[in-house]
């Protein structure tokens, strides 16, 4: 009987020892996992970023930024931190992260791309010209600043196209306001509104349509000379079939003006 109890005691002791060893090995593995170098963390984060696992790689990129700020890859890690936020459509966080790169690493070779990405963040926040103009104006300014700082950049054409698109959107908003005044038969108010396009957005493709609408307003006000002067500014070759009919109608009216 005593031998039986002794055997059980030995088995219990061995079990405890094995359990302790097993736990020790697990803890050791966990310690090894947590003791990755900043290079290893960076490499792991790149893999996750390329797999579009943005939340997963943010921690490792951030670790590199704060624990190896003087390393060759610190600015790259900061750029990826910002890009993670950009890809997750967290544009305000992305802007802040990109700006941190510019402040902390002013001579980084990523500076040019960072400046462009900041403008892209503002652009992505301004979908549709009917919305608040604040982000649109900030985006235009950011692209203009980028072109001024990097006139030979291969991103210049993209920036110019963005500016053209955004300015056209702002012009359309004014154009629609002018059309609304026309619906209300507020011809003078419509003319004043349309003239804002001529003064501010003269380089947009909506300019031709604007002159046509102004000429129509002058016809309603029986101001023949002003109507003719405005018709003379229209590029007839750029008119649509519908607008050409309106143009010819106004032109005919100018020649058959009632006394």
Q: How would residue 36 be classed by pLDDT, with cut points 50, 70 and 90?
A: confident
Residues 203 and 167: beta-carbon distance below 8 Å: yes
> How far apart (Å, rounded) are the C-alpha atoms in residues 139 and 121?
8
Q: What's the pLDDT score for residue 128?
A: 66
* Domain covering 38-167 assigned CATH 1.25.40.10 in the classification: yes
Residues 69 and 104: beta-carbon distance below 8 Å: yes
pLDDT tens-digit profile of 117-144? 999 999 998 776 556 688 899 999 999 9
Residues 68 and 74: beta-carbon distance below 8 Å: yes
Q: How would residue 259 be classed by pLDDT, with cut points 50, 70 and 90?
A: low
Q: What is the pTM of this model?
A: 0.78
What is the token pair recorded at 127?
């979908």
Residues of the chain with CATH 1.25.40.10: 38-167, 170-255
Long-range contacts of 176-183 (CB under 8 A, 24+ apart): 178/210, 178/213, 179/213, 182/213, 182/216, 182/217
Q: Rounded to 5, what percent of the chain is helix, strand, coil?
A: 75, 0, 25
CATH number of 170-255: 1.25.40.10
pLDDT tens-digit profile of 85-115? 999 999 999 999 999 999 999 999 999 999 9
Residues 246 and 216: beta-carbon distance below 8 Å: yes
Position with higher pLDDT, 29 vs 247: 247
In 3D space, the residue among 256, 258, 250 whose CA is nearest the CA of residue 233 turns out to be 250
């Amino acid at each position: 009987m005593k031998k039986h109890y002794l055997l059980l005691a030995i088995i219990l002791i061995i079990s405890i020892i094995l359990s302790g060893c097993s736990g020790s090995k697990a803890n050791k593995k966990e310690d090894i996992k947590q003791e990755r170098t900043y290079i290893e963390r960076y490499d792991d984060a790149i893999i996750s970023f390329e797999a579009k696992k943005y939340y997963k790689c943010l921690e490792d990129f951030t670790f590199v930024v704060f624990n190896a700020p003087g390393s060759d890859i610190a600015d790259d890690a900061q750029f990826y931190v910002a890009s993670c936020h950009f890809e997750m459509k967290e544009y305000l966080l992305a802007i802040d992260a990109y700006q941190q790169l510019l402040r902390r690493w002013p001579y980084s070779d990523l500076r040019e791309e960072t400046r462009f990405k900041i403008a892209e963040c503002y652009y992505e926040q301004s979908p549709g010209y009917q919305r608040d103009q604040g982000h649109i104006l900030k985006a235009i300014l950011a692209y203009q600043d980028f072109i001024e700082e990097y006139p030979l950049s291969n991103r210049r054409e993209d920036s110019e196209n963005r500016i053209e698109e955004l300015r056209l959107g702002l012009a359309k908003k004014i154009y629609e306001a002018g059309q609304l005044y026309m619906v209300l038969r507020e011809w003078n108010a419509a003319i004043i509104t349309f003239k804002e396009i001529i003064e501010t957005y003269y380089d947009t493709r909506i300019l031709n349509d604007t002159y046509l609408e102004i000429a129509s307003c002058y016809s309603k006000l029986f101001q023949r000379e002003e109507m003719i002067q405005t018709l003379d500014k229209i590029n007839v070759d750029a008119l649509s079939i519908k607008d050409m009919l309106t143009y010819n109608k106004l032109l005919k009216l100018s020649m058959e003006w009632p006394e």
